[in-house]
Amino acid sequence: MTQGRVFRIGQIVPSSNTTMETEIPAILRAREAVAPERFSFHASRMRMKKVTREELAAMDADSDRCALELSDARVDVLGYACLVAIMSMGKGYHRISEQRLHQRTVDNAAPAPVVTSAGALVDGLHAIGAKKVSILAPYMKPLTQLVIDYIEHEGIEVVDSISLEIPDNLEVGRQDPLAPAEITKRLKTAGVDAIVASACVQMPSLASVDLIEQRTGLPVVSSAVSTTFMMLKRLGLRTHAPGAGSLLGGRY
C-alpha cells in the first residue's frame, strides 16, 4: 500500500487532559494499517484542573488562543477536546464555538474546520440513527444532568445514565480503559439504540467499545470515537478505523 498524504490533526486540549492525545492517535494509527493516509498530531493546551462550571468557562475563553496557535502550524482540522466545557456554556453552543474558532483560523490565513467533542457526540449519534441512548460519564451528577439536557435538546432521549462523580480531571484520566465494559452492565439498555461508553474525552474507554458492542449487540460510541469520526468527515476521508466500534466501521 502506497503511503498517502499526511494530514495534520490539531488538538485543543484541557491542560490536565491525558487521554485525547492517546486515544485519538491510537484510532488513527489503527486506520493507517488499512488505509494510505497518514496523520501527525499537534496540541495546544488551555488551563483546567477541576471539572467545575467555573473552571470550564474560564478554560473555554482560552480556546481562541489555542485555535490561533494551531493554525500557525497549518493544521488540516482542529478538535476541541472537552465535551462538558462546551455543553456547560448553553444548549447548542458547539455550533457557536466551532464557527468562532474556525473564524480564528480564517483570520490567520490558515482556514481549517473545527470539530468539538460535544458536537461530534451529537452528530455521531445522529449518524447511526440513535433516538434513545444510555450514557456513562465521569462527572458529578449536576454536570452529568447538564450533558443529558444538552443531548436531549438535540433530539436524543437519554434513557439511563451512570455518573462516576470524579471531580479531579487527572483522576478521570487514570481510570482503567476496560472499566466501562463492566460499568455499562449496570445501565438500562432495553429499547435504546446506542450506548455512550464515555461522555468525556478524558475518561479512557477505547478498549471497551468493541467489548460492549459484542455483549449488547448495540452500537457503542465515545467522545473520542465520535470526535475522530467527525474529523475524518471534515477531512473528506473514509470513516473507517479497526477496533473503534460501529461508528468507525465505514458505513456512516
Q: Which of these is catalytic: 82, 136, 196, 221?
A: 82
3 is in an annotated binding site: no
Length of the chain: 252
Strand segments, DSSP code E, in the chain are 6-14, 38-46, 77-80, 114-116, 132-137, 157-163, 194-198, 220-222
93 is in an annotated binding site: no
Long-range contacts of 190-193 (CB under 8 A, 24+ apart): 191/132, 191/159, 192/130, 192/132, 192/133, 192/134, 192/159, 192/160, 192/218, 193/128, 193/129, 193/130, 193/131, 193/132, 193/133, 193/218, 193/219
214 is in an annotated binding site: no
Q: Is 82 a catalytic residue?
A: yes
108 is in an annotated binding site: no
164 is in an annotated binding site: no
Q: Which of these is catalytic: 78, 120, 156, 200?
A: 200
Q: Is 66 a catalytic residue?
A: no
Annotated binding site: 17, 82-84, 139, 169, 201-202
Annotated binding site for substrate: 17, 82-84, 139, 169, 201-202
Q: Which residues are catalytic?
A: 82, 200
